[in-house]
Amino acid sequence: MNQDRSETIDIMQPMRIGEGSPRLPPLRDLSVDLAAKAAAFRSSLPPEIQTALAHLVRAMNCYYSNLIEGHDTHPVDIERALNNDFSDNPEQRDLQLEARAHIAVQEWIDAGGLAGRAQTVEGLRETHARFCEHLPESLLWAEMPGGERLRVEPGALRTRDVQVGRHVAISPGAVPRFLEHFEWAYRRLGRSDAIIAVAAAHHRFVWIHPFLDGNGRVARLMSHAMLLETLDTGGVWSVARGLGRTAQDYKRHLAACDLPRRNDLDGRGALSEEELASFTGYFLQICIDQVDFMQGLVDPNRLRTRIHRWIEEEAALGNLPLKAGAIIDAILYRGELPRSELDAVVGTGDRQARRIASSLLDLGVVVSESSRAPLRMAFPAALASRWMPGLFPEKA
């Protein structure tokens, strides 16, 4: 079954936009713009706010990545799954478990688990294995043409032929050879080239289609890891949101990159350089749009205004004292607030200040590692529609 039809590496070329190509300078301009915006955004956030925001972005990233695959698990349900609160509906529960598996892999990536090896054969197989090993059994089966169902083995390269849309992937026996070339092509690039190469690597990976199933998710996790490393994003924005919101364009670009070279002006490889450049431009612009969107969303004045509006409504309902806003302001500005400073910040006695802090902790909008540790910000998915409108659709 593991047949190698002796395809040559040439059929996957070009791996990157040619150095002398007229299509490369505009992409370099986009990469410079993206690098500058990403650095400015991250540097504007206190480290503790970055951590809280990255937690929410992981749920958002998971939501949009799974949505592209036709699995709709809202971030509120994802957050519940992270707290072991599962739906009674078996299908919804399985999707929550799938989301939790995705989140676990991204947490591992954000902690440096793939540093320096996101595009290596070893790293890609480990990413797939880590995602699949925690999936429920119902989601570990892939349906082949003709109705045959095959179990997906975590981290195992496929041993069967596959077709995705019109694209017939390379023979299963050729996959290891093509992955080795893939690793060679995308490692040890200069920063600008590495940023531009993320899109090309994204397509060439799904073109190889090394796993029986899960290739799209692994490609997006790989891209997240590559951007995390080349741009030091801190995980505070996600390309998956942009890809998910423009899913038809995303899939159209991927399919177009499968097209053969048109003529002598279309690069020097077997595949179209023009289409690869078009996808790269789309991908980089999506990244820039997402940085701009997130920066606008967490602009301190706007975010503070939205949170204070929520506090006023909660206070009117008797759920929260109005003075809670002072604690939120202090944490947003400084990143964290020592408990010893609570009474000074709130302007009340120590006992009342601690009672207000407890209310915020109970609502999950601030967190603390212990009863004496500083208070830090949290961004619950359940409040995202109020605090960060547009991050993802409201839960129906």
383, pLDDT greater than 90: yes
Number of C-beta neighbours around residue 33 at 10 A: 15
Fold of 300-387: Arc Repressor Mutant, subunit A (1.10.10)
- Residues 253, 273: Cα–Cα separation, whole Å: 12
Distances in Å between the Cα of 321 and the Cα atoms of 164, 328, 329, 337, 347 are 56, 12, 14, 18, 13
2, pLDDT greater than 80: no
- Residues 12, 16: Cα–Cα separation, whole Å: 10
pLDDT of residue 91: 95
DSSP 20-68: T-TTHHHHHHHHHHHHHHHHHHHHTS-HHHHHHHHHHHHHHHHHHHHHH
225, pLDDT greater than 90: yes
Where residue 72 falls among pLDDT bands split at 50, 70, 90? very high
Domain boundaries, the chain: 9-297, 300-387
pLDDT of residue 349: 85
- Residues 112, 334: Cα–Cα separation, whole Å: 26
Write the DSSP symbol of residue 341.
Answer: G
1, pLDDT greater than 80: no
Centroid of chain to Cα 262: 33
- Which CATH code for domain 9-297? 1.10.3290.10
